[in-house]
A and B are shown apart, each in its own frame.
Chain A
Amino acid sequence: MANTIMGFTMPRTGLHHMPLHNGISYANDFPDMSFHGSSSFSWGNMGGFQVEMKKKKRELVMTHAFPDWPHLNLIAVLVQHVDSQRDIEFITNKTIWHLSDTAIKNVYAFYIMFTVWGCCVFGSTKDPFYDGEQYRKDGGDGTGHWIYDKQEDMEAEARAELWREELIEEIEQKVGGLRELEEAGKKTEELVK
């Protein structure tokens, strides 16, 4: 097992090897970020550290129930030796934020969802038609379709009225005696209404 894992760790060993010589090297403070679950480090090739690191190995085998959200920063440790002053080392810590692909995707997904939700909610609150008298006045069922239905019904009623008028006219022509019939026609009209 150790051998297989070795393959994983090989390119990483350079990173975790604490530098004793001058120059710059990087230490990753979240070594398990990209090796979730099965990640374990074999430090077998590192001699003196072996015993100590075996303890650590056990800890690292543990799986994580929660995502490693706070481990987002990458620390660069800068160790500088100045030739004239042998004992003093200048150590500079630099951290940069670094997000994994998944994390970036999550951030953008959330951003899109928030935007869409925001557009829907705040867009709907500022609809002049929705808030307007035309839509909100008495008589609507709230669907908006009634406007057209009402228009159609008005037209149909107007035609029915026309039909009645024609009928009355025909009766007038047939029977004669216009005045009496006009009164009668008015009466029937009232009755019809």
Chain B
Amino acid sequence: MTTLPSLSSSSALSLSSSPLFSRPHLSATSSSSIRTPLFRTPKTELCTTNAKKKNPWLDPFDYGDDPEMEGGSLFSEGKQEEDPRPPDNPGNPYGFLKFPKGYNVEIASLGLMLRGDVRRCCCVISGGVYENLLFFPAIQLLKDRYPGVEIDVLANARGKQCYEINKNVRFADVYDTDDPFPIPAEYTDMIGLLKGRYYDLVLSTTLAGLGHAAFLSMTSARSTASYVYPNVNAAGAGLLLTETFTPETLNLSEGGYHMYHEMLDWLARPARNVPRQTIPPLRVSLSRKLKEFVEAKYKKSGVEKGKFVVIHGIESDSAASMQSKGDADSLLSIHMWAEIAKSIRGANPLFVIPHEKEREEVEEAVGADANIVFITTPGQLAALINDSVGVVATNTAAIQLAHARDKPSVALFSSEEKGRLFVPDAKEKKCVLVSSKTGKLSDIDLGAVKDAAQALEGSMALV
């Protein structure tokens, strides 16, 4: 064994020293040095497939772009068009043959392959209401980057409810990707469903191992991009995915407002003749129907439009409390809320309860004349916040919804770091952060909260 390295090195020496073997090597270098000035920027580059990872096992014959390949200008740069159908020509005998949008079969593949068009995109989103709400900027970004894209969403039953207030989504389906043992019938049914929709791009925020990567790749989408486990569990996932994102921790939600920044960076990447996209802010849109429904609801509980402050984040074991998975300590007991509510004078505090069983406790703590409204869905909460003067809440979806509707808010956090994570640039968002000194939300300084709430009243007087 010890003789082997010396043998090989000597043979290599002899090879390089012999004129026979050194010649092709020389010619190779010379030819490449001649060719380099001729290299043009490769026009026919696919959408960064395998760009990040140079794993020779993925494709042993992947030598990069072919320098001699020439691409035309058609469908090779810029953004895709919203509707690439040619105009109908009534004089043409075939002019009345109308394909649906995105289905003009003769030229569709050009854009899809050369420019990396995305006609149909599926977002598989893990987590509850909060996580889905924070994914809205990504959806808007997709819509901006790929005009005319049809975006579908796969989320769990709680998360799906968010898409009542998102105008950019076509179908939202319920499927829990966090379930370690999905029912086989549901699993196969969902794969069939996704396969039948012919997606070009599948994004997933579920931390993927081999299993989830297989699920994604079985949709037979052109490209699949997913978060992967930051540890050994990611083994094998990269083989089945086009692009992988590795988060810092196992819990993606701990990243706060920018929890999807790796994915957003990739989605906003510059392409040929397309500059880097700016990441849009979180926005929600409310339908007239929803507004009317919620208006009737809060009027029933005894408050008037524009004259109440929404209080959200009452401690409850309900699944509808809309906390982030990255901040477990984000609910305050009703007694503390009652204390805070006393200081709000200018407007009626409106308590949002996530479950009917909390109603009695609120009435006990605040008084029988307390204004209580029972709301579980983010859509209704958003409509409620839209008609309010402001929000006082702990770290729940209510805070993000207040920002999305440009309402002033007071946010109570268990620590300052959490506050900075979940509400970056709070001043721009008209948000006052109040955080506990000890790291426990229950130890929060009520005096500071009351001052902030009064400041909220001051701002509402200005409004």
Q: Would B173 and A159 count as touching, CB distance under 8 A?
A: no
CA gap between A156 and B172 in the complex, in Å: 8
Digit string of B291-305 for contact with A (CB within 8 Å is 1, else 0)? 000000000000000
With A158-B287, A162-B285 as given contacts, are A152 and B167 in contact (CB-CB < 8 Å)? Answer: no
Q: State whether the Cβ of A89 lies closer than 8 Å to any Cβ in chain B.
A: no
Q: Would A156 and B171 count as touching, CB distance under 8 A?
A: yes
Residues of B within 8 A of A163 (CB): 167-168, 285
Q: State whether the Cβ of A29 lies closer than 8 Å to any Cβ in chain B.
A: no
Q: How large is the interface on A (under 10, 10 to 19, 20 to 34, 35 or more residues)?
A: 10 to 19
Q: Would B171 and A162 count as touching, CB distance under 8 A?
A: no
CA gap between A152 and B197 in the complex, in Å: 14
- The listed residue (B167, B172, B289) touching A155 by CB distance below 8 A is B172
Q: Would B167 and A166 count as touching, CB distance under 8 A?
A: yes
In the assembled complex, the CB of A192 is this many whole angstroms from the nearest CB of chain B, namely: 14
In the assembled complex, the CB of A60 is this many whole angstroms from the nearest CB of chain B, namely: 59
Secondary structure of the A side of the interface? helix
Q: Which of B167, B171, B285, B288 has the most CB of A within 10 A?
A: B167
Q: State whether the Cβ of A161 lies closer than 8 Å to any Cβ in chain B.
A: yes
Q: State whether the Cβ of B170 lies closer than 8 Å to any Cβ in chain A.
A: yes
Count A-B contacts at CB 8 Å.
31
User: Which residues, 154 to 193 on A, are CB-close (under 8 Å) to B?
Assistant: 155-156, 158-163, 165-166
Q: How large is the interface on B (under 10, 10 to 19, 20 to 34, 35 or more residues)?
A: 10 to 19
Q: Would B173 and A162 count as touching, CB distance under 8 A?
A: no
Contacts beyond the supplied A158-B287, A159-B163, A166-B285: 12 A-B pairs with Cβ under 8 Å: A155-B171, A155-B172, A156-B171, A158-B289, A159-B166, A159-B168, A159-B169, A161-B287, A162-B165, A162-B286, A165-B285, A165-B287
Please list 23 pairs of residues, one from A and one from B, whose beta carbons are closer than 8 Å in the complex, sorted by A's number: A152-B171, A152-B173, A155-B163, A155-B172, A158-B164, A158-B289, A159-B166, A159-B167, A159-B168, A159-B169, A159-B170, A161-B287, A162-B167, A162-B285, A162-B286, A162-B287, A163-B167, A163-B168, A163-B285, A165-B285, A165-B287, A165-B288, A166-B167
Q: Interface of A with B (CB < 8 Å)?
A: 152, 155-156, 158-163, 165-166
Residues of B within 8 A of A158 (CB): 164, 287, 289
CA gap between A166 and B167 in the complex, in Å: 8
CA gap between A158 and B285 in the complex, in Å: 12
CA gap between A163 and B283 in the complex, in Å: 13
User: Which residues, 311 to 337 on B, are CB-close (under 8 Å) to A?
Assistant: none
In the assembled complex, the CB of B185 is this many whole angstroms from the nearest CB of chain A, namely: 14
Residues of B within 8 A of A161 (CB): 287
Residues of A within 8 A of B286 (CB): 162
In the assembled complex, the CB of B174 is this many whole angstroms from the nearest CB of chain A, namely: 10
CA gap between A158 and B166 in the complex, in Å: 10
User: Which residues, 165 to 214 on B, are CB-close (under 8 Å) to A?
Assistant: 165-173
CA gap between A166 and B143 in the complex, in Å: 15
Residues of A within 8 A of B289 (CB): 158
In the assembled complex, the CB of B407 is this many whole angstroms from the nearest CB of chain A, namely: 17
Smallest CB gap from B170: residue in A: A156
In the assembled complex, the CB of B263 is this many whole angstroms from the nearest CB of chain A, namely: 23
CA gap between A141 and B172 in the complex, in Å: 23
CA gap between A84 and B21 in the complex, in Å: 126
For the complex of A and B, 3 pairs with smallest distance between CB atoms:
A163-B167, A162-B167, A162-B287
In the assembled complex, the CB of B195 is this many whole angstroms from the nearest CB of chain A, namely: 16
CA gap between A160 and B169 in the complex, in Å: 9
Smallest CB gap from B165: residue in A: A162
